[in-house]
Amino acid sequence: MERTTAAPENKPWYKHPWPWILIALPATAVVAGMITLWLAVVSFDGMVKSEDVHRAKVGQGYEVDDSRTQAARQLQLSATLQPDEDAMGVTLYLKGASDMAMPPMLMLTVQQPAHEQLDQALVLMPTGQAGEYKARTTQAFGNGRRLLLLEDESRAWRLQGTISFPAEAEEATVTLLP
């Protein structure tokens, strides 16, 4: 009985599967890195805006100035914000200490986190009723969660809150607190 042994195949390296599998692993990492770099460049989130964060680093954190929030607490301020049905304006009801004079106008900043180009600054004017202010905007608030900052024109105090747009009927009113 004769034994025959198969001769090894002499194929070129690129016709074997293992070199391609070994090349695919680092190639995948390179492609994923390039995609990550492209996403980082295209989707710049902008800088975090806050006048209350001092530039001086204290220990492992930053010192936060909450004097405007404290001023709002001392004045016993609270506000109720209600978007109009067409989402092109807001009505605000401001309450404060009984001896407080209502400001002649208020500034409302509607910020969308991570998208500075969608931020809106509204000037709220009194309607004639005690503590009621209204403002209209040229563009709708869009969809998603927004940070609301309410200040008087001298920036002596500040109230803040969050709201989600489009506002459902039960969520249409938000209270801003110090």
Q: Is the pLDDT of residue 175 over 80?
A: no
What is this structure's pTM?
0.62
**pLDDT computed for residue 61 by the predictor:** 67
HEC secondary structure over 117-155: HHCEEEEEEECCCCCEEEEECCCCCCCEEEEEEEEECCC
What pLDDT does residue 167 have?
55
CA 80 from centre of chain? 21
pLDDT in tens, 38-79: 998 888 666 656 555 555 555 666 666 788 888 888 888 888
CATH superfamily of 66-176: Immunoglobulins (2.60.40.10)
pLDDT given at position 1: 56
Task: Give pLDDT tens digits for 75-101.
Answer: 888 888 887 776 677 888 888 887 788
Give the pLDDT of residue 169: 44
- CA 169 to each of CA 27, 66, 68, 81, 102: distance values in angstroms, whole numbers, following the listed order: 52, 33, 32, 13, 29
Tens of pLDDT, residues 123-174:
989 888 888 898 888 776 667 777 888 898 888 888 888 877 665 544 456 6
- Model confidence at 177, pLDDT cuts 50, 70, 90, reads low
Distance of CA 132 to the CA centre of its chain: 27
